[in-house]
Amino acid sequence: MTAILEARAVTKRFGVDGPPAVDGLDLAVAPGAGVGIVGESGSGKSTLARMLAGVLPPTSGEIAVGGRPWTAVDRRDQLRRRVQMIFQDPYGALNPWLSARDAVAEVIRFWDRPTRAEARERASQLLADMGLTADAMGRRPRGLSGGQCQRVGIARALACAPDVLIADEPTSALDVSVQAQILNLLVALREERGLAIVLISHDLAVVRHLTEDAAVMYAGRIVERAPTHEMFRSPAHPYTRLLVGSIPGMSGGEARTAHDPGVADHPCRFAPRCPRRADDCIAVRSHDPHLPGGRWAECVHPHLPAAAPVQRTQTQHGGRT
């Protein structure tokens, strides 16, 4: 199956000094696939998402959508609407001067050219599906709660009937109950319409729920790729291990050392914090990332999948009913 969205060796550099925000990264999203991206804050996830959505041009490399590079896609091309993104900042992504309903209706009118009344009708319906009340729909972002704004952003993206949804922390402002509603909705869209999802989230439970494949980013690079459940069961890269071990309620994470993903001159950006670092780690970029069992990690001394899984302490929510 050919990829519907593909990043080939993309690099994004802001300014002239400092390490690139995204550094020579490859990623392919097949139609209907669910890809999760997790990683350190500031590791370049949102930058990658913007490039995938075609709103930020890469410094080098190429993003192809349906086999064509973004640079060759005209603004009004129907391909444009097929890739949609949910932005990380729920307030910032909405036009402060438009009400929730108008923001969604604007997209519908733009792409489908229905009558004004019909567009409003459809927008109201979409927002109601997201659990927004009629009263809230008439308000501008400043009059909405964080979770309400986030749902407006999701409704606006879905109004385009996309084939690929790039979701940058889509449920971070939602409580568990509404989050469950939205996640169930996304699961249903994947099953019914074959929507592909690129999900960026620091909430590993959400990633696990919605995706089959996961990639871990660290300092602009993907350091590990694996089927989602295996990644959490037996993380191979030392950083993934740290990440999985830091989940509240999980134990087994190694003690954190100085946190400075930027300074490494080392080809392995994680080296300054890595407990397994050795002299031969310099060769990490030329080292074969393929591991036994179909796993993949950019690391010279990975934890082999057979290694002891991270222990989860089951003290949580003992009183679930």
Query: Any contact of residue 169 with other proteins (CB under 8 A)?
Result: yes
CB-nearer residue toward ligand ATP: 46 or 228: 46
DSSP designation for 185: H
d(CA 125, CA 119): 10
Q: What is the largest CA-CA distance in the chain?
A: 67
Give least dist CB 39 to Mg ion, A: 9
Ranges within 228-247 binding ligand SF4 (CB under 6 A)? 238
User: Does the protein bind ligand ATP through residue 90 (CB under 6 A)?
Assistant: no
Alpha carbon distance 300, 100 (integer Å): 50
- Going by the DSSP 8-state scheme, the letter that residue 255 receives in this structure is P
According to the binding rule CB under 5 A, does residue 46 interact with Mg ion?
yes
Task: Report the site for ligand SF4 in 292-321 (rule: CB under 6 A).
Answer: 299-301
The secondary structure of 89-129 as a DSSP string is -TTTTS-TTS-HHHHHHHHHHHHH---HHHHHHHHHHHHHH
- Note whether 234 binds ligand ATP by CB under 6 A: no
The residue assigned the tokens 């190429």 is: 62
Using rule CB under 6 A, residue 271 touches ligand SF4: yes
Among 105, 136, 154, 223, interactor with other proteins by CB under 8 A: 136
**Nearer Cβ to Mg ion, position 49 or 186?**
49
CA dist 12 → 49, 73, 256 (Å) = 12, 20, 28
Residues that bind ligand ATP in the complex, under the rule CB under 6 A: 14, 21, 39, 41-47, 88, 136, 142-148, 173
Residues that bind ligand SF4 in the complex, under the rule CB under 6 A: 238, 268, 270-271, 274, 276-277, 281, 284, 299-301
